[in-house]
Amino acid sequence: MENKKILKSGEFLVEETEAKNVFIPEEFNEEQKMIAQTCQDFLETEIYPKLDEIDTGKHEIMVAALKKAGELGLLGIAVPEEYNGFGQNFVTQMLAAETIGAGYSFSVAFMAHSGIGTLPIAYYGNDEQRKKYVSKLATGELIGAYCLTEPNAGSDANSGKTQAKLSEDGKHYIMNGQKMWITNAGFADLQTVFAKIDNDRCLSAFIVERNYPGVVINVDEKKMGIKGSSTAQIFYNDVKVPVENLVGARGEGFRVALTILHMGRIKLGANVLGAAKKAINDSVRYANERKQFGVLISTFGAIKHKLAEQVIKTFAIESAVYRVSSDIDDLIEQNKKSGMDKGRVSIEAISHYAVEAAILKVYSSEVLDFVVDEAVQIYGGMGYSAEMTVEKGYRDSRINRIFEGTNEINRLLVSDTAMKKAMKGEFDLFGIAEKLSANLSNIAEKKNSNENYYAEKKRYIRNFKKVALLAINAATKKFDKKLISEQEVLNNISDIMMEIYIGESTLLRVEKLETLKGNEGVKIYKDMLDVLVFDSAEKVRKSAVDAFSAIEDNVDKLINAVNDLTDVLSVNIKNARRRVADKLIEDNKYKF
Amino acid sequence: MKILVCISNVPDTTTKIKFTNNGTSFDKTDVQWIINPWDELALTRAMDIKDASGGAIESVTVINVGLADSEPTIRKALAIGADKGIRINAEPKDSYFVAAQLAEVLKKESFDIILCGIESSDFNSSCTGGMLSELLDVPSVSSVSFLNIENGQVKIKREIDGGNESVSTSVPFVGIVQKGIAIEPRIPSMRGIMSARTKPLQVFEPVQVDALVEYVNYELPQPKSACKKIEPENVKELVNLLHNEAKLI
């Protein structure tokens, strides 16, 4: 991937990427596959036999599972080697996150510990803090939690009321306040707590040990799903936090919180991917066993449709997950060369991709909800039985649209962040959008007589990008600074952007895959791409029409342009879906 | 003492088996390869013995007869904990071919305990261990379900009809192990995976050996026929079908 231009976040709207410059999951190396297999073996031996026991919420079961994961080194995959970790690159971290993502409640405890519970200190802590805490978090000797949300500060995290006042002797911060929805609260030894020092405008981050006097942990919440994961409120009553436990600089906590959330969002994309594959495997196995009317239900077109849709959407998010993961690795390498602080190179690179992080968070969590819903449906009445893992998967999925920033916040972030970055001059968006909007009559790129399969699909994606740009231009012209209050329109633009990024990532993956598997081997992947792009065109069109109807200016011309731009050649998507489903049914598991 | 574990590179046990070339060869497309489950348990036991030996077991080596594409499987064994890997660079043809290749290398490299799984999950010939001991002219013990070193002595238990049999033997010997040898295979840890790439993996060229068996043709088992339901009162029809259709009575 030499001479690859590293794009700014959101720049995919105005730039094309070559297939050779994206990383695809088919390129995992032997070591990465072995790490994934270890995660899988761990789930199969330590977690799957105990799923019901874990969901009773007894802390000792989850703690034992986390310690076991620690023994295998799985808690230290992202931690640098000097702190007992394995310093793996971001793609490998994501692959592990994907595999563990199929672990139901365990996956949430694992990610809370090894991600948001460990990495704020690993990335922003000083060397002493890292040695004292991170080296023990990496092995599972200590379990971590991340305490940001408060009763009145959820999506608006910086409005938190938890206070930290410097003691008279200057040795401690006296912390008072309350946190809620804290994952791993019931058993975490260590908390990264966000609080404001005196009357600071911004949060600061602190390391708080569980056994500091004044730390009171409530009983676990009773939840819809992920019942085995401990979630509780924590109260801080005059807790003396040593001054050396301030993480990063005073007032830097909000930045820490935001960057860690970007990371959490991207990793959630991987987690969700693993959960989706598990639900697909359950679905197809059942469809291949259950008979009605004397035949297996997997022979029915209606079931094949469901199975194929599960696969296509999952394959699409998988393509985007590893595309952005590898882009992050490239940026980390570049940051290292620029001499950036060693602890911060990773988090800076991860938070660079804020737009893509939000896309993965929203799109993937919604895909998982679709996949688990159809899994229950394929099981029929059995799917409603609490004895089936698809029932658990259905309930556990729902939280993904809520935590790590609600999908409402993240959906807005997709378009808003891209526009803000463009406004800051990181890349030209508005200039291109304005130019494009000036000539609507011949805006759609038409079929080229000798265009091949990929050229055709790329033309569609380019046209979808034009739709996004038209919408951005019209919306900013109409609402200017008030656009942020027009959340519905911003959401329309975000929806278009998500279709573009996910579609483009899938297209580039299939194109690259052809170089590995050849024309014949890639046919089934082209079927998936056909269905995806065909459906995307309709979604892009609908979102754009909604946006332009709300903007009201020049509506007819813009909608005509959108119709041209989303005009894709028809393919027999029923047959394409059937072929995808048939491969799944034949393999009896997700093997794409 | 040194332990050697012979490992086969076999298709994952959930693989859908397909044949090509008119049923004369196994279709390797998209197949995931693993350590033969019996061999993996043997390796697990070898590692357990080594870990508990207080240094008395000097090393655990794994050996495989296979082409370069079996190296990921060998490295997995190294990740599990084996200290060294050996690959004999040949496509395994039959049990005798494999045993003869192993014997040739083992004449040069000496080991005290040589472990083989009782069979491989692909060809299930159950011959290699016995042939190897014969070629090396050392004792062999089959169906080993327990193995330990106590005060320098090899203690073995074998599963026999209705009970266990305790055996001791001199070294070197070939132990042909059953599934009870270890409960679960070891999961490679991150440290193990990281260290696998730096452990030695030696490649030997094969010697000229003719296989004794030629695989002529493979067939998949017939798919199960549909279940026929008969009303409980209709015993006559049941007897008729058992006689004339199933031909069981």
> How does residue B221 score in pLDDT terms, banded at 50, 70 and 90?
confident
Residue A509's nearest CA partner among A266, A312, A284 is A312
Which residue in chain A has the smallest CA separation from B196? A31
3-state SS, residue B173: strand
- Residues of A with a catalytic annotation lie at 404
The superfamily (CATH) of domain B2-222 is HUPs (3.40.50.620)
Q: Between chains, do A41 and B76 touch, taking CB under 8 Å as contact?
A: no
Note the pLDDT of residue A305. Answer: 98
- Does pLDDT of A573 surpass 70? yes
- Does pLDDT of B222 surpass 90? no
Q: Tell me which residue has tokens 């041209």.
A: A564
DSSP A251: T
Q: What's the CATH code of the domain at A190?
A: 2.40.110.10
Residues of chain B in contact with residue A86, where contact means CB-CB under 8 angstroms, are 190-191, 194
- Distance, in Å, from the CA atom of A57 to the CA atom of A70, rounded to the nearest integer, reads 20
DSSP per-residue letters across A110-176:
HHIIIIITTHHHHHHS-HHHIIIIIHHHTTTSS-EEEE--BTTBSSSGGG---EEEE-TTSSEEEEE
Q: Between chains, do B190 and A35 touch, taking CB under 8 Å as contact?
A: yes
Task: Give the model confidence (pLDDT) of A53-62 as tens digits.
Answer: 999 999 999 9
Note the pLDDT of residue A196. Answer: 97
Average pLDDT, chain A: 96
CA distance A220 to chain B (A): 32
* Maximal C-alpha separation, chain A: 81
Note the pLDDT of residue A2. Answer: 53
- A132 & A156 share domain: no
Interface test with B, best of A26, A28, A31, A285 (most B CBs within 10 A): A31
- Does pLDDT of A219 surpass 70? yes
Residues of chain B in contact with residue A71, where contact means CB-CB under 8 angstroms, are 189
Nearest to A38 among B14, B75, B187 (CB): B187
Q: Between chains, do A35 and B184 touch, taking CB under 8 Å as contact?
A: no
How far is CA A149 from each of CA A259, A261, A302, A410, rounded to the nearest angstrom?
15, 12, 43, 16
3-state SS, residue A65: helix
3-state SS, residue A1: coil
DSSP A403: S
In this structure, the number of other CB atoms found within 10 A of the CB of residue B232 comes to 7
Q: Which of A192, A216, A247 is the last residue of a domain?
A: A247
Question: Which residues sit opposite A329 in a β-bridge?
Answer: none
A536's CB contacts (< 8 A; 6+ apart) are A464, A499, A502, A503
Alpha helices in chain B (DSSP H): 37-52, 71-80, 95-108, 128-136, 190-196, 235-244
> How does residue B15 score in pLDDT terms, banded at 50, 70 and 90?
confident
B25 touches chain A (CB under 8 A): no
CA distance B190 to chain A (A): 5
pTM value is 0.94
Q: Between chains, do B79 and A34 touch, taking CB under 8 Å as contact?
A: yes
Residues of chain A in contact with residue B82, where contact means CB-CB under 8 angstroms, are none
Interface test with B, best of A37, A99, A114 (most B CBs within 10 A): A37
- Does pLDDT of A213 surpass 60? yes
How far is CA A389 from each of CA A42, A225, A386, A432, A587, rounded to the nearest angstrom?
18, 12, 8, 49, 20
- A438 & A333 share domain: no
Q: Which two three-digit tokens encode residue A57?
A: 């919420």
Residues of chain A in contact with residue B16, where contact means CB-CB under 8 angstroms, are 586-588
Which residue in chain A has the smallest CA separation from B184? A45
Residues of chain A in contact with residue B72, where contact means CB-CB under 8 angstroms, are 30, 33-34
Mean pLDDT, to the nearest integer, of A510-537? Answer: 97
Instruction: Give the gyration radius of chain B's Cα atoms.
Output: 22
Distance between start and end Cα atoms, chain B: 58
Question: Which residues sit opposite A192 in a β-bridge?
Answer: A146, A207
User: Is the peptide bond prior to B172 cis by the omega test (within 30 degrees of 0)?
Assistant: yes
Please report whether residue A420 resides in a domain. Answer: no
Interface test with A, best of B31, B190, B201, B220 (most A CBs within 10 A): B190
- A518 & A540 share domain: yes
Specify the long-range contacts of residues A347-350, CB closer than 8 Å, at least 24 apart. Answer: A347/A119, A347/A123, A347/A124, A347/A259, A347/A260, A347/A263, A348/A259, A349/A90, A350/A90, A350/A259, A350/A262, A350/A263, A350/A266
Question: Which residues sit opposite B156 in a β-bridge?
Answer: B147, B167
Q: Tell me which residue has tokens 């987690």.
A: A271
Residues of chain A in contact with residue B190, where contact means CB-CB under 8 angstroms, are 35, 38, 72-74, 76-77, 86
- A138 & A151 share domain: no
Note the pLDDT of residue A3. Answer: 64
- A438 & A571 share domain: yes
Residues of chain A in contact with residue B184, where contact means CB-CB under 8 angstroms, are 45
- A434 & A506 share domain: yes
Residues of chain B in contact with residue A48, where contact means CB-CB under 8 angstroms, are none
Q: Between chains, do B191 and A38 touch, taking CB under 8 Å as contact?
A: no
B151 touches chain A (CB under 8 A): no
Note the pLDDT of residue B248. Answer: 84
Task: Give the model confidence (pLDDT) of A430-449 as tens digits.
Answer: 999 999 999 898 899 998 88
B41 touches chain A (CB under 8 A): no
Question: Which residues sit opposite A240 in a β-bridge?
Answer: A174
Note the pLDDT of residue A299. Answer: 97
Q: What's the CATH code of the domain at A454?
A: 1.20.140.10
Q: What's the CATH code of the domain at A93?
A: 1.10.540.10
Contact A190, A117 (CB under 8 A): yes
Contact A9, A352 (CB under 8 A): yes
Task: Give the model confidence (pLDDT) of A29-72 as tens digits.
Answer: 999 999 999 999 999 999 999 999 999 999 999 999 999 999 99
Q: Between chains, do A31 and B76 touch, taking CB under 8 Å as contact?
A: no
What b/e sequence results for B57-83 when a residue is b if at least 16 CB atoms lie within 10 Å of its CB, and e otherwise?
beebbbbbbbeeebbbbbbbbbbbbbb
Q: Tell me which residue has tokens 């993480």.
A: A247
Q: Between chains, do A42 and B191 touch, taking CB under 8 Å as contact?
A: no
> How does residue B123 score in pLDDT terms, banded at 50, 70 and 90?
confident
Percent of chain A, pLDDT > 70?
99
B190 touches chain A (CB under 8 A): yes
Task: Give the model confidence (pLDDT) of A134-146 as tens digits.
Answer: 999 999 999 999 9
Residue A149's nearest CA partner among A406, A371, A390 is A406
- A385 & A296 share domain: yes
Contact A541, A563 (CB under 8 A): yes
Please report whether residue A562 resides in a domain. Answer: yes
Residue A545's nearest CA partner among A555, A531, A537, A535 is A555
Instruction: Give the gyration radius of chain A's Cα atoms.
Output: 24
DSSP per-residue letters across A290-358:
-EETTEEGGGSHHHHHHHHHHHHHHHHHHHHHHHHHHHHHHHHHHHHHTT--TTTHHHHHHHHTHHHHH
Question: Which residues sit opposite B114 in a β-bridge?
Answer: B4, B174
Q: Where are the domains of chain B?
A: 2-222
Residues of chain B in contact with residue A99, where contact means CB-CB under 8 angstroms, are none
DSSP per-residue letters across A522-559:
THHHHHHHHHHHHHHHHHHHHHHHHHHHHH-TTHHHHH
- A513 & A430 share domain: yes
Cα A244 to its chain centre, rounded Å, is 33
Please report whether residue A414 resides in a domain. Answer: no
In this structure, the number of other CB atoms found within 10 A of the CB of residue A20 comes to 12
- A441 & A550 share domain: yes
State the amino acid at position A163 in one-letter form: Q
Q: Tell me which residue has tokens 């695809």.
A: A24
- Distance, in Å, from the CA atom of A120 to the CA atom of A129, rounded to the nearest integer, reads 11
- A233 & A304 share domain: no
Which residue in chain A has the smallest CA separation from B195? A31
Interface of A with B (CB under 8 A): 30-31, 33-35, 37-38, 41-42, 45, 71-74, 76-77, 86, 294, 586-589, 591
Task: Give the model confidence (pLDDT) of B16-58 as tens digits.
Answer: 888 998 888 889 888 999 999 999 999 999 999 999 999 999 9
Note the pLDDT of residue A421. Answer: 95
Q: Between chains, do A72 and B189 touch, taking CB under 8 Å as contact?
A: yes
A472's CB contacts (< 8 A; 6+ apart) are A415, A419, A429, A430, A433, A493
Please report whether residue A592 resides in a domain. Answer: no
Total of domains in chain A: 4
- A123 & A179 share domain: no
Q: Between chains, do A591 and B76 touch, taking CB under 8 Å as contact?
A: no
Structural domain boundaries enclosing A121: 11-143
3-state SS, residue B141: strand
Q: Between chains, do A34 and B197 touch, taking CB under 8 Å as contact?
A: no
Please report whether residue A487 resides in a domain. Answer: yes
> How does residue A157 score in pLDDT terms, banded at 50, 70 and 90?
confident
- A230 & A358 share domain: no
In this structure, the number of other CB atoms found within 10 A of the CB of residue A415 comes to 28
Q: Between chains, do A42 and B187 touch, taking CB under 8 Å as contact?
A: yes
Please report whether residue A416 resides in a domain. Answer: no
Note the pLDDT of residue B230. Answer: 86
